[in-house]
């Protein structure tokens, strides 16, 4: 893992241009690891993401008795499946701040059965999990809160599961539904199972990732719109043999935005028109802002020839990548509004408040609402020290404010605690420097 100092200084940069090979997708990596652990047979996983979040999942699986092996210094792993069970029935698991690890693992452990405790960093204990726990306990699992009700840490004990129907709210985090879908075959061993969604389901493209990967591991789900999901009885996960992890589409957003802001072109490799990740739709927002986007099977390129246009759009479908649009809005020709982003409030930090606070340091006028952000770009971007709130996306987003755009110049940016990028992209600033030629240290 890259070692970072307490801060990084980014000087203003005239232009960004080049080609970036993306790290593996966090969402695909952690889902694939758990599915491989629950599958029958051995799975070869190619290009797994190297990050804090995947380390959390790998360590937890090892503690649960799942054997895995890394091939040399590569990011290729062999995972020996447990065929729907874990060898260790007692474990104390540290989940860091990895939502993609704690939510599905909570469901899997509660259904498989055993005596487990799950806990994480302080922020994890502020991130809601109550909707998932309620859905599971309603069918006979035994999950208890050992701190504040509705939040980790958790204690899981053996339960008595009996259900053909489950219900879960969909308006706080799509990871709750993802967790239930991933363990659905373990519940539906004898009888079919239907999972019903109460209210609006947010971040739908992340559910598409889950369903796609489940199918690759041999389990099919019948979907009735976004209201219910049915799993036939008797299905079980089977190793696909070899599975390739796509490049991370959320991480692609920073480099593609750099191409749009400065003119580019900037190309990312590892994700393209055939991606199963919803965050590739980030490029549609860049196109609305006037960028030129070209897609290949395994690459995307962004460039522009003029001032970016302001945008007013619903970003419920791409909440993570939408943060990058808030920075691109600094370079737009008028005010921009990001709507339906209420899920930002319960991420690694309260991202609506954090983004508003740091954008104001750059000279922007910002209005924050319960589920929206309204950004009026400054006449001139002001040099600033950016706090990152132990949130990887804050650090990566605000690096873009050092770039010169067509409408206004970038500024000298100090990023405090840049090591937070280790959550998903440990080498981010080194890679960013390859297209901007920043001198980091």
Query: Which 3 state secondary structure label does DSSP give 362?
Result: coil
Neighbours of 394 (CB within 10 A): 25
For residue 391, indicate whether it is catalytic. no
CA distance 242 to 355: 40
Give the H/E segment covering residue 26: helix 26-38
Distance CA 142, CA 102 (A): 16
Residue 411: which of 16, 6, 7, 10 has the closest Cα?
10
Pairing of strands 266-269, 365-368: unpaired
Look-up of token digits 């092996």: 69
Tally of residues, the chain = 441
Q: Are 34 and 104 in contact (CB under 8 A)?
A: yes
Closest Cα to residue 304, out of 261, 358, 354, 351?
A: 261
Token couple for 187: 């519940």
Closest CA to 360 of 371, 345, 347, 373: 373
**Residue 67 neighbours by CB under 8 Å, 6+ apart:** 79, 80
Query: Residue 378: phi, psi to the nearest 5?
Result: -75, 160
Candidates 198, 164, 209, 160; CA nearest to 184 is: 164
DSSP string, 86-145: -S-SEEEEE-TT-HHHHHHHHHHHHHH--EEEEE--TTGGGS--HHHHHHHHTTT-EEEE
Q: What are phi and psi of 246, to 5 degrees?
A: -65, 160
Separation between Cα atoms, residue 285 and residue 328, nearest integer Å: 10
Residues 358 and 368: beta-carbon distance below 8 Å = no
Of 52, 131, 279, 320, catalytic = 320
Phi, psi (rounded to 5 degrees) for 83: 55, 45
Which amino acids are annotated catalytic? 320
């Amino acid at each position: 893992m890259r070692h970072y100092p307490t801060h990084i200084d980014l000087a203003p940069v005239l232009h960004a241009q080049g080609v970036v090979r993306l790290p593996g997708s966090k969402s695909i990596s952690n889902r694939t690891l758990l599915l491989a652990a629950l599958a029958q047979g051995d799975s070869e996983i190619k290009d797994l993401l190297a990050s804090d979040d995947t380390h959390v999942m790998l360590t937890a699986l090892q503690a649960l008795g799942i054997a895995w092996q890394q091939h040399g210094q590569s990011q290729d792993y062999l995972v020996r499946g447990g065929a729907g069970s874990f060898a260790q029935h007692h474990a104390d698991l540290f989940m860091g701040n990895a939502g993609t690890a704690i939510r599905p693992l909570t469901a899997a452990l509660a259904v498989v059965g055993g005596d487990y405790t799950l806990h994480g960093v302080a922020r994890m204990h502020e991130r809601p999990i109550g909707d998932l726990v309620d859905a599971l306990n309603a069918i006979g699992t035994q999950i208890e809160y050992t701190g504040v009700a509705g939040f980790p840490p958790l204690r899981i004990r053996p339960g008595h599961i009996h259900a053909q129907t489950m219900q879960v709210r969909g308006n706080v985090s799509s990871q709750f539904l993802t967790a239930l879908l991933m363990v659905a075959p373990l519940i539906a061993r004898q009888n079919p199972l239907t999972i019903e969604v109460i209210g609006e389901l947010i971040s739908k493209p992340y559910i598409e990732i889950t369903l796609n990967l489940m199918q690759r591991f041999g389990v099919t789900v019948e979907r009735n719109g976004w209201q219910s999901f049915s799993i036939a009885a008797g299905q079980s996960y089977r190793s696909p043999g070899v599975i390739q992890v796509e490049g991370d589409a959320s991480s692609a957003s920073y480099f593609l935005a750099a191409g749009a802001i400065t003119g580019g072109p900037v190309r990312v490799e590892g994700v393209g028109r055939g991606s199963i990740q919803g965050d590739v739709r980030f490029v549609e927002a860049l196109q609305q802002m006037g960028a030129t986007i070209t897609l290949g099977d395994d690459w995307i390129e962004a460039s522009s020839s003029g001032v970016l246009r302001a945008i007013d759009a619903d970003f419920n479908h791409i909440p993570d990548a939408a943060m990058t649009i808030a920075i691109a809005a600094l370079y737009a020709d008028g005010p921009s509004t990001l709507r339906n982003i209420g899920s930002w409030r319960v991420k690694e930090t309260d991202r609506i408040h954090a983004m508003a606070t740091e954008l104001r340091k750059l000279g922007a006028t910002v209005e924050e609402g319960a589920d929206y952000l309204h950004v009026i770009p400054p006449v001139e971007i002001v040099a600033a020290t950016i706090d990152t709130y132990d949130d990887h996306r804050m650090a990566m987003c605000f690096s873009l404010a050092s770039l010169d755009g067509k409408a206004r110049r970038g500024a000298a940016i100090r990023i405090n605690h840049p090591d937070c990028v280790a959550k998903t992209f440990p080498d981010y600033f080194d890679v960013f420097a390859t297209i901007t030629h920043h001198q980091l240290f």
